[in-house]
Structure formats: structure tokens, C-alpha cells
Structure 1
Amino acid sequence: MTSDTTRRIRLPLLAALPFALALAAYAAVLATWWGRLPDPVATHFSGVDGRADGWTPRTGVAAIGAVLLCAAGVAWTVFARRRVLAGAWATAGFLGVLLVLMLRDNLDAADAQVVTSPLVNLAVAAGAAGLAALVGWAASRLVPEEARPAAEDGEPYEQLPLGPGEVAGWSRDTGSGVLAALSAVTLLAGLVALVLAPWPVALIPLLVGVPGLALARVRVTADRRGLTVAPALAGRPRIRVPLDDVEGASVRDVDPVADFGGWGYRVRAHRTGVVLRAGEALVVRRAGGREFAVTVADARTAAALLNTLVARREGR
């Protein structure tokens, strides 16, 4: 089995594993303590004393906890990369421990109205996240490093014919329905958790869902400033490769999983990219040898325009 195949198999498995373990532990604790929990369960707390100010039926607590862990697990698996695998484990550790501590605070309570949740729970959950992150870091050693892409210096870069004083620009929108759906589900889970669960629990899906939804549809622009990729609706934040940093541009077919480990904004050892679908991608080789890729239709026109602008810059 090649290192690329090993990486493609192990990375998503190791990203999903901590959430599967957290979900199994949460389900086991719920099954064990089910008869000792009040109905409804205190699920939201505020103030220095951590007094309950929000309640959820026991069945809702089971469902919401499972949805949170599953949504966060799917998001981390989709966006997994070797260097941040520890983040997936830390997230699972934090969420799992915080959910279990919430159940413990409710245990044997005659009235959920008087349940309190001490702030030390957050410190305990953070400590568990740190320990889980160490496990994730160790697990990342099992994923082979990505090989540096071979240089294509022998291939001439195609150019777009322009007159001496002629100016041109190119722009096109591109998007991913799958990424939009996953991000919307994650964001919805975060909004539900914001109302029904301790607020730190809601931060994780919100921090994943908002940028994911922003990247679900982007506008790619090639002009005299270089290459710019920005959310189609908001315009910010944006990724820009200045023309002075461009050595050349080409077109390449991209497999999101095989080449970048998933969809969205991806970071690899010697390349970065905005990968929203399989197929045609505009690939820019930067001055330091790194590459930036974005999957977009009509990439050949954009590449030819950038190559022409680079040639003008160099007086060719």
C-alpha cells in the first residue's frame, strides 16, 4: 500500500475516532444514569454560581448531545489534515467531558430548577481537551507526510494574447452544495446548542459552520493584482496571491480526497487550496515553490491571463 493510500485511509479514520469514542461514552453514561436524571434536565447555566436557567427534556438531551458530537465529527473528518488532527481530538474531548459533567450535575436532583453547574467544569473539560490533543498529536504520527508535488518546470505556461496596451480581467463563481449543506447542518446544531446547552458547547459547531458556509460559494478573480478568492456573498475574508508572487499558472485535475484530504480551505505540506469539487483547478506556482489551487470552471483562461501578466511584469 502506497503512502498516499495509507494517508487517505488513516486520516479520516483518526479524525472520526475520538468523536465515535465520545459518543459511545455519552450513550453509556446516559443509559446508566437515565433513571436518576430529572425530567426535564437542566442544560443551561449562568451567573457566577452557575445556577440553571434553561431546561430540556431527557430525550432532547440525548438527541442534542448525539447531534453535536456527530456534527462536529463530520466537520472535522471532512476538513481533516495531518497537522491539526490534535484539534479533532481536543474538540471531542472537550465536548464529551462537558456533556457528561452536565449530566453529573443533574444526577439524583429532585428538581432541575435548583441544579447548579460550577465553572470548574469548564476547566476540567479544557484539561480533558488538552490530554486528548496529546493523544491526537501522537496519532498523527501514524499518518504519512504528504509528498511534495513534482515540479513542472519543463512544461511551457500557456498565455493569453493581449495587445501592448490592452487590459483584461477574469472572474467566475464556484461552489459546493455538499459543503453548504454540511456547514448549514453544523451551524444549525450550534444555534440549537446556544439555546439549549451550555454556551461553550455551541462555540465549536458555530466556529466550524460559519467559515464553512462562507467558503461554500466563492468568487475567483484573476487580474493585474494577481489571484483573489473571496466569499461570493460577503467578499471577506479573502485569499490573495499577489502578481509579484506568481511564477506561473496552469490547469490540473484535482481529486479533493487524494490531493488535499477533503473539501474546503486545505493546507498541505507544500500547497494550499480552496477545493470545492473534483475536476478542473487553477494552480498557481508561487515564488517560494509552494502552490495554491482553486477548483473552478474555465481555469485555463484564468491561467493564461495570469501567465501573460507575469510575462509583462518580467518584460517578456
Structure 2
Amino acid sequence: MTFRNPDGGDVPAGAGRTGSVAGRSGGSGRGRRTAVTVAAVWGALVSAALVAGPFALRDRLPDPLATHWGSNGVDGSMSFAASLAPSLVLWGVAWVSLLVSAAHGEVLNRRGGRAGWWGSLAGGSVFALGVSGSILLANLDAADWRRAALPGWAIPVVLGAAVAAGVLAGYLGRGEPDRPVEPEDAPAMRLRPGQRAVWAGRATNPWLSRLSAVLLAVGVVSGVFLVLGAPVGEAVWAALLPLLPLAAVMSLISDVRVRVGPDGLRVGFGPLSWPAFRVPTEKIAWATAERRSPVEVGGWGLRGLPGTGRFAVMVRGGECLVVRRAGGGELVVSVDDAERAAALLNAYAAEAAAA
């Protein structure tokens, strides 16, 4: 592998040492199998309860059932069969996502990911069961769905129980601490005196890119119909037109481009690599490459604020460049070939420290 010299020609990477991408502690095959097994069994039990509960109480429920309450009381209903769908879909999507991420993703490889995964499994199931149970309780023995009364304590109790279950499960399931990566374990590289190299890489999330394209198309079509005076209610336009800025934001966070050079690190967003932010070489203590999951940093996209403690640019789970700042704090950026980027950053950071 060679790096491009900004002044022309290639610069050899040198005889430096590089290690494997870090972040595998806790991701043993046994732990993964346990998580998948527990999720499969628990998810099936929760799904069965979401169906069995309503059927067990069917003789005491009106048909249709009240399913939505507003500030003035009940204002929406569904047939008995249709009312089973919301909770099942809500839980089913979360359950399948957790199963897939445990079986094939990076989420269980680190302590933060394990805590988030177990917390989501427990909290999500309690929330789904609580929503379904609240609807059943409100409709129980009601002569008509319009007389179904949702107790005022139901929503706070359901949310509180879901959060408590999630926190407890995350705490119990977090496992052993991750093995800390020390500066001496970080990828290293030697450059010949006076030579300068530049590394460039990127990471993309194809699903976010496709979704942003769909949202953009819907927003544009909505705008065209609005200009042409199509007879569509104002509420529809109010819901559709915001898709344009949403599509723009999603397009930016679905593609990140990273550049490492003598001046430090530059992280750009979107196909034009703009907007962007920089971290000067003198503000970098050292860097490494680790495998991180969105659960560990709070989800996809941008998490935190640049220059203030921990900040993450999470486009997709997996290989990430992790930069330790000289003044404290950590920057995590999803990018392919992060180990070489870290090695070059460490070479420049060492030069800056020795100057």
C-alpha cells in the first residue's frame, strides 16, 4: 500500500507496525449464540402473548376497539383483528432487527453495544406488551368503543417500566469491560524525513442513500403538485414538503469522506464532501482503528458536537477511525481502511509532538 505525495509521486508506507482492527473483546461465539437463542425464544414468547392476551379477553371486549386517545378522550378505533397489528408490527420490527444485529453485526463485540442490545430487547418487549395491555384494559367490559377510558397512569407506567427494564437488562448484560487500546498498541508508520503523504477514504450507507432518494422524489413531486394547484388538503402538503430538507440531511449523513494529511484530519459529508470539519494535527494525541456499532454511540448519523468530548460520525457499523484528542475526548468516524488512516495520523502526531 502506498500513499500519495501531494508534491508528486508515491510515498512508501515504511516499515511501520500495524495491528488488527481492535474492538473484538466480548464478542465470543458463545456469547453471540446465547444472545441469539435468548432473543429468539423471548421474542417468540412476547409475540405469542401479544396475540393470546386479546383472544383470551375477546368476549369482554367491544368490536371495534378503541385504539387512540386524544386530549378530548377516545378518538379512534379498529376492528378486533386489525387492532392486533400495531403492537405486533412494533415489536416484530424491533425483534427481527435485534436478532439480525446479534447474529451478523458488530453490536455484541463491545461492552457499550452489548448493554444497548440487551436493554433494547428488554425495554422494547416491555413497551410493546404495555401498549397492548393498556389498550385491552381501556376496552375491558366497555359497552362501546366510544366509552373506553384509558387510565391516566397507563402511559407513564408503561414508559417507566420499559425504561427501567431496559436499564436493568443493559446493566446485567454488558459483560466484561473492553480491553483498553493503549497508544503503544495503535497502528504505527514511519515516513522518510521531509516527505508528506495523504490518505483518503470514505464510508457509505446504501440504505440511507436510497431512502433519501425516495424522500427527495416524494418531496419534489409534492412541490410540483402544489405549484400546479392540485386539490390536496393543506395537511397533506404540511406533511410532505418537509421531506425535502429531511432528504438533504439523510443524503449528507449517508456518505462520509475522510482525509488525513500533514495538517491533520478532515471529515466531509455527502457526495461533495461538504460541509466538513477538521481536527488539526497538534490537537491529536493518537489514533487507532476499532470496530464500533451504532448502538454504542446512540444511533446512526452525528452524535455529540465536534470539539466537545465524545463525538461520533456513524454512517454504518464496523470499522471506524478512533481519534484521541490531545486535550481529552474521542472522535469516532465510520470509514473503510481505518487502520492505515490511524497509522498515518499517528506518524504526523508524533512529528508534531517532537517539534
- TM-score with structure 1 setting the length: 0.61
Give the whole-Å Cα distance in 2 for the aligned partners of 1:158 and 1:64. 58
Q: CA deviation at 1:179?
A: 7.3
The equivalent of 2:205 in structure 1 is 176
Give the whole-Å Cα distance in 2 for the aligned partners of 1:181 and 1:172. 21
Mapping of residues 227-306 of structure 1, within 5 Å: 227-228=266-267, 243-249=281-287, 259-260=291-292, 263-264=293-294, 266-267=296-297, 274=314, 276=316, 281-287=320-326, 294-297=333-336, 299=338, 302-303=341-342, 306=345
Q: Residues 66 and 309 of structure 1: is their aligned pair in 2 closer, same or farther, counting only changes over 3 Å?
A: same
- Alignment pair present for 1:44 and 2:68: yes
- Pick one of 179, 188, 194 that aligns with 1:147: 179
Q: Residues 232 and 118 of structure 1: is their aligned pair in 2 closer, same or farther, counting only changes over 3 Å?
A: farther
Length, aligned pairs only = 271
Look up the SS of the partner of 1:314 in the other structure: helix
Q: CA RMSD in A?
A: 4.8
1:3/1:144 contact within 8 Å kept: yes
Mapping of residues 87-166 of structure 1, within 5 Å: 88-133=121-166, 135-137=168-170, 139-140=172-173, 143-149=175-181, 151-153=183-185, 156-157=188-189
Q: CA deviation at 1:125?
A: 1.2
Give the whole-Å Cα distance in 1 for the aligned partners of 2:144 and 2:258. 59
Q: CA deviation at 1:8?
A: 3.5
- Alignment pair present for 1:28 and 2:57: no
Structure 1, residues 96-144: CA drift from partner, whole Å, max 9, x if none?
2122111221223332133221221113213422552464156326x33
Q: CA deviation at 1:240?
A: 7.3
The equivalent of 1:58 in structure 2 is 80
Give the whole-Å Cα distance in 2 for the aligned partners of 1:152 and 1:25. 52
Give the whole-Å Cα distance in 1 for the aligned partners of 2:209 and 2:43. 22
Please list every run of 5 or more consecutive structure 1 residues that lacks an aligned counterpart in the other structure: 184-209
Q: Residues 154 and 180 of structure 1: is their aligned pair in 2 closer, same or farther, counting only changes over 3 Å?
A: closer
Q: Residues 307 and 161 of structure 1: is their aligned pair in 2 closer, same or farther, counting only changes over 3 Å?
A: farther
AA of the residue aligned to 2:265: G
- TM-score with structure 2 setting the length: 0.56
Q: Residues 173 and 65 of structure 1: is their aligned pair in 2 closer, same or farther, counting only changes over 3 Å?
A: same
Structure 1, residues 256-312: CA drift from partner, whole Å, max 9, x if none?
xxx44xx436359xx97847265x654545548987554434657744664565356
Give the whole-Å Cα distance in 2 for the aligned partners of 1:239 and 1:281. 17
Q: Residues 14 and 288 of structure 1: is their aligned pair in 2 closer, same or farther, counting only changes over 3 Å?
A: farther
